[in-house]
A and B are shown apart, each in its own frame.
Chain A
Amino acid sequence: MTRADFIVTLAAVALLPYLYVTQWGSGARGEQVRISVGGKEFARVPLYKAQRLEVPGALGVSVLEIKDGKVRFVASPCHGKQCVHSGWLTLSGEFAACLPNRISVQVAGREPRYDAINF
């Protein structure tokens, strides 16, 4: 391999991270959150804008907090509070739901890291 061959190969390999990022999208981190009530989309909200959202569900109002590219249930009128225990969601494809209140929250990005979540 000549020096020129080496430089060309090196240049191509150096481009790989750029191609990975541009072709696969942000992959891990989500860009927005999809909020559904009763299976119907209620809102799509960007994850970069900090805010608290009050979402009316079957039992009452669930409160969502969005901050620093993450979203979580802060409060919900259900009994078990499994939605609140789910904690922060940040990766594309992650989701949490308050089934009694019929509200679900899913992080979406250009290319989800997971196609489905098993639990």
Chain B
Amino acid sequence: MHDFPRYSLLATRYCLILLFTTVSCSKPDPLYQEQILALGALVDISISGVEPERAQQAASAIAQDFNRIHRTWHAWQESELTRINAQLPGGAPFPVQADLIPLLTRAQELSRQSEGLFNPAMGKLIGLWGFHSDEPRGPPPDPGAIAALVAQRPAMNDLRLENSLLQGRNPAVQLDFGAIGQGYAVDTAIAHLRRLGIENAIVNASGDIRVIGKHGARPWRIGIRNPRGPGILASIEMQGDESIVTSGTYERFFEHQGRRYHHIIDPRSGYPARGLASVTVLHGDAVTADAASTALLVAGLKDWKRVARAMGVKQVMLIDEQGKVYMDAALARRVYFEITPAPDVEITGSP
């Protein structure tokens, strides 16, 4: 009997260790998930930590936001943007809706910072390549037509915006916000969720993601698609308020006579950018990440750091056409590769 206290102590320790391990493995809060089709894309909304009815109402509100943005900014279906594009070549100032101005000015600023590599003014070139279509089919356009459009140098600083009046000063300018439309919609949706008091959520529009808060007690887990094959290349944990956007040459493309032509056009050459397969940018807001991922893919391995610095972007992962990964040490600590063998990684200096 004199051993009883000792066994009791052992049993207590055993229970404590069990309790600790059980608690540390406990499941996160239940999650509300809804999928909508908007902006020609699949939009996933995940909301954690609120009752399902409230989450459902919030998701419906977001769906309306996406549909409104679709109607406003679509580059080739009738929209506010196509009405603007119809008036720009005339050269006379014309009024634009007040709610369009913030994105127009932001796009001008991002384009300037990116040295024009992110260029929403080259809508004609995008259309010439046949990417103003849900299913681009090719063939590639006539080289003479490409050269003629490039020579006209359509740029965002050809636009003058004063007192809600917009004026085009280069008849070649046609706006196409395809490179930041999803990011803008994601930012708008997150702001709306916050106004509704939602603190833990993910909005994912065709892979352009912004997270706020957490998934229960743990961070959100994001899988990054392998740009060179099926499946997931890597994963990363995100929390607080952060966006992750990837521009990849595998997203939209057509094939012609055995050659692949993708949708990220280099405004300097007028042809699809060469050298990189994808660029992933982590940043606070999704619009900046979206514009930067496009600009850095165009900039390529030689110039990406300078452009990233100018755009205020710090965390970047680049993957070249051979599958080699380039990223700085801070991001490398966060990224966990999900394929074996892991790809060849070069740690670069910070931008």
Interface residues of A (CB under 8 A from B): 4-5, 8-9, 11-12, 15-16, 19-20, 23-25, 36, 38-39, 78-80, 82, 85-88, 91, 93-94, 97, 99-100, 102, 104, 106, 111, 113-119
Contacts and interface: CB of A to CB of B under 8 A. Distances in A.
Contacts of A117: 204, 207, 222-225, 232
Given A8-B10, A119-B207, A113 B231 contact: no
Given A39-B35, A114-B232, A94 B223 contact: yes
Contact of A118 (B6, B36, B222, B253): B222
Given A12-B18, A24-B25, A118-B224, A100 B135 contact: yes
A24 B28 CA distance: 9
B265 interface: no
Contact of A23 (B22, B40, B202, B209): B22
A119 B248 CA distance: 7
Interface string B287-326: 0000000000000000000000000000000000000000
Interface string B158-183: 00000000000000000000000000
Interface string B1-41: 00000100010011001100110011110010001110011
Contact of B14 (A8, A79, A118): A8
Given A12-B21, A38-B37, A94-B231, A115 B224 contact: no
B106 interface: no
Contacts of B258: none
Contacts of B27: 23-25, 111
